Amino acid sequence: MSYIITAIAAKELPSDIQTTIESHLIGQEVKFVKSSVLAAGKAVDFFVDVENADNVSKKIKLINIPQVDLAFQKDSDARKNKKLAVFDMDSTLIYQEVIELIAAQAGVEDEVARITNLAMNGEIDFQESFRRRVNLLKGIPSADLWAKLKPQLNLTNGTKQLCATLKKNGCVLAVCSGGFLPLAEHVKELLGLDYAFANQLKTQVVDGTEVLSGEPAGEIVDGNKKKAVLLELAAKHGVSLANSVAVGDGANDLLMMGAAGLGLAWNAKPKVQLEADCRLNTDSLADALYIFGYTDKELE
Ligand SMILES: [Mg+2]
* Spacing, Cα 212 to ligand 1 middle (Å): 23
pTM, two decimal places: 0.94
Among candidate residues 48, 75, 102, the one where a domain is terminated: 75
Owning domain of residue 20: 1-75
1 & 145 share domain: no
Q: Is 88 a catalytic residue?
A: yes
User: Is the same domain home to 110 and 55?
Assistant: no
CA of 29 to the centre of ligand 1 (A): 36
Query: Is 90 a catalytic site residue?
Result: yes
Residues with Cβ within 8 Å of residue 221, at least 6 apart in sequence: 176, 177, 178, 197, 198, 199, 229
Q: Where are the beta strands (DSSP E) in the chain?
A: 2-9, 30-39, 43-50, 68-74, 84-87, 172-180, 195-206, 209-217, 244-248, 262-266, 278-280
Query: Both 198 and 105 in a single domain?
Result: yes
Residues 67 and 216 placed together within one structural domain of the fold: no
Ligand 1 center–CA 1 separation, angstroms: 34
Catalytic one of 16, 49, 77, 88: 88
Query: Of 75, 92, 113, which closes a domain?
Result: 75
Backbone φ and ψ of 160, nearest 5°: -65, -45
- Whether 88 and 70 map to the same domain: the answer is no
Number of domains in the chain: 2
Same domain, 247 and 210: yes
CATH number at residue 230: 3.40.50.1000
Q: Which of 45, 69, 90, 253 is catalytic?
A: 90
List the pLDDT tens digit at each of the 300 positions of the chain. Answer: 899 999 999 999 999 999 999 999 998 899 999 999 999 999 999 999 999 999 999 999 999 999 999 999 999 999 999 999 999 999 999 999 898 888 887 788 888 888 878 877 777 787 888 899 899 889 988 888 899 999 999 999 999 999 999 999 999 999 999 999 999 999 999 999 999 999 999 999 999 999 999 999 999 999 999 999 999 999 999 999 999 999 999 989 999 999 999 999 999 989 999 999 999 999 999 999 999 999 999 998
Asked if residue 66 and residue 132 are part of one domain, the reply reads: no
218 by Cβ neighbours in 10 Å (0-12 / 13-18 / 19+) ranks as exposed
The Cα 169–Cα 179 span in angstroms is: 28
- The Cα–Cα gap between 257 and 262 comes to 7
Are residues 36 and 102 both part of a single domain? no
CB hemisphere CA count around 231 (13 angstroms): 10
Q: Are residues 290 and 159 in the same domain?
A: yes
Give the contacts of 187 (CB within 8 A, at least 6 positions apart).
89, 93, 94, 153, 155, 175, 177, 193, 196
**Do 24 and 164 belong to one domain?**
no
Last residue of a domain, one of 75, 101, 120: 75
Distance 15 CA to ligand 1 centre (A): 34
CA distance 281 to 285: 9
Ion ligand 1: residues, Cβ under 5 Å: 88, 90-91, 249-250
If asked whether residues 223 and 241 sit together in one domain, one would say yes
